[in-house]
Structure 1
Amino acid sequence: MSVYEHYRKDEHAFVDQVMDWKQTCEDQYSPKLTDFLDPRQQMIAENLIGSQGDVMIRFFGGGKGTERKRAMIFPDYYQASDDDFAIVLFQVHYPGKFVSIEHPQVLGALMNLGLKREKFGDIIQDGTTLQFACAEEVSDYIEMNVQKIGKSSVDLERISLDRILEAGDTWRESMITVSSMRLDTVASEMFNVSRSKMKTIIDGELVKVNWKVTTDKSMRLMPGDVLSVRGKGRGKIIAEEGVTKKDRVRLIIGFPE
């Protein structure tokens, strides 16, 4: 059985990349640090490398509950520490009494620098404080070039990782049954929308799977996938729990509390 059979076609290139990382670690007998990975990519990497054998993997995103994390792939002799992940945390200072800055504005300002999304970790807000994590190798460039986010002037302050806001969602779990694992089928059940309407929503480029817009209504979903529908929120497929007597697939899903 090919390893690719466990993954979607659009994930095959990432599967190859993980296998290359593993091979490089085995050949050079030295650790390999990746860019930030989303949770689905983390799951794939962990499945391919595992916790047994001569090569290990560990993830860290800067603090407790972070969603996007860098991976360290290392030989079993190596002891990976948080410092090895080379993550810089910035706190954004702006006149909060007069303006508000939202997550998309922060991401937009960072992406306008011409850097890959993979160089940035979580963007975290708690109402009064705004922080974001990035790879150390691009931190000087970011510090020099980000003076404005949205319409507001900002100052960036490097702070220690122990000051990171607690990130991550607590998921409220429930169970649904679906006739198939197609995107339009699962999304319609998950967000309580008719399948015909969900197809229109998908065609309108309003649906993301694992943070990427998709119009592929027949995409086969898997445990670990995160779906977001504009105007309806975000949900996650936590586990697949077999089939019913009527051949419907039982899914445990979660929504952020």
Structure 2
Amino acid sequence: MSSIYQHFRKEEKEFIDQVLGWKSDVELMYAQKLTDFLDPRQRFILESLIGSTGDILVSFAGGEGAERKRALIYPSYYSPTQEDFQLQLLEIVYPSKFVHVEHKHVLGSIMALGVKREKFGDILFTDEMLQLVVAKELSSFMMMNFTQIGKSSIKVNEISWDQYLPSNEKWQERFVTLSSLRLDVVMAGVLNLSRQKAKLLIQAGKVKVNFREVDNTSFECAEGDMLSVRGLGRCRIGEIEGKTKKDKWRLNMYILGG
């Protein structure tokens, strides 16, 4: 068992144990297990532990191009449907002509209601429309209680998935070669910053890894990590292909501009 943990971070042990528990339950009960919304790194861990060819499989859903998705773990003989993921798409109606609303305003207002972050998925914007993906069991609560963003009154409606607004974000795939997987090195190499600039941003609390602030410049990055830098954009680590002949790491990155 300890050999499993060595492939991941120490702070991820609790989630690894949870995944192994889910897998064991599915094996014993021959029934599917639906999770809350998971971030990209959690999905990477889950896929790594479940695998793709055994008696237990995993699928994800949360909307096209979504960052946060629910996972369904199930016996290989089962064929999942969209309904299995128990997702609800909500439309948030607000006075868009008079009020400027950003992602952080919506997120803060939802969290202020006491809703746990893992119970809802992506927040989707266009110029005049705002949508939210939630666990179906949360839908009625949101329609009754989510009535304001800041000082602006809003109305929340359930809508069908054929009205879903896929993200218009354009991610660019890029291969990079880096001297190490330290956070400051990855940031500098991917975002075309100096190493010193990257360190200052990290130490100033402007960098998040998997949606959590990290102020340690030597933090070791890994596959599936989502990095975001305030004002500069986001990037996600795809596959770490290993080292080159010159002992440098070769990474497959997905980059979104700020």
Tell me which interval the TM-score lies in, with the shorter structure as reference length.
Answer: over 0.9
Percent identity for Structure 1 against Structure 2? 48
Determine the C-alpha separation between the residues in 2 that align with 1:52 and 1:168. Answer: 33
Determine the C-alpha separation between the residues in 1 that align with 2:122 and 2:76. Answer: 29
Determine the C-alpha separation between the residues in 1 that align with 2:48 and 2:238. Answer: 16
Determine the C-alpha separation between the residues in 2 that align with 1:23 and 1:169. Answer: 37
Determine the C-alpha separation between the residues in 1 that align with 2:120 and 2:185. Answer: 32
TM-score (ref. length: structure 2): 0.93
- How far off its partner does 1:191 sit? 1.8
Determine the C-alpha separation between the residues in 2 that align with 1:120 and 1:220. Answer: 28
Determine the C-alpha separation between the residues in 1 that align with 2:76 and 2:7. Answer: 26
Q: Which moved more, 1:187-196 or 1:79-88?
A: 187-196
Gaps of 5+ in 2: none
- How far off its partner does 1:252 sit? 2.6
Determine the C-alpha separation between the residues in 1 that align with 2:196 and 2:13. Answer: 30
Determine the C-alpha separation between the residues in 2 that align with 1:144 and 1:253. Answer: 41
Asked if 1 retains the 8 angstrom alpha-carbon contact of 2:123 and 2:133, the reply is yes
SS state at 2:253 partner:
strand
SS state at 1:2 partner:
helix
Tell me, yes or no, if structure 1 residue 173 matches structure 2 residue 173: yes
TM-score (ref. length: structure 1): 0.94
SS state at 1:227 partner:
strand
SS state at 2:6 partner:
helix
Q: Which moved more, 1:2-11 or 1:189-198?
A: 189-198
SS state at 1:201 partner:
helix
Partner of 1:206: 206
SS state at 2:175 partner:
strand
Aligned residues: 256
Q: Which moved more, 1:83-92 or 1:239-248?
A: 239-248
Gaps of 5+ in 1: none
Which amino acid in structure 2 is aligned with residue 9 of structure 1?
A: K
Asked if 2 retains the 8 angstrom alpha-carbon contact of 1:65 and 1:168, the reply is no
Partner of 2:56: 55
Which amino acid in structure 1 is aligned with residue 129 of structure 2?
A: T
> What are the superposed Cα offsets for residues 212-231 of structure 1, whole Å, 9 maximum, x if unpaired?
11112222112221211112
Which amino acid in structure 1 is aligned with residue 181 of structure 2?
A: M
SS state at 1:158 partner:
strand
Asked if 1 retains the 8 angstrom alpha-carbon contact of 2:173 and 2:255, the reply is yes
Q: Which moved more, 1:228-237 or 1:16-25?
A: 228-237
Partner of 1:34: 35
Partner of 2:132: 132
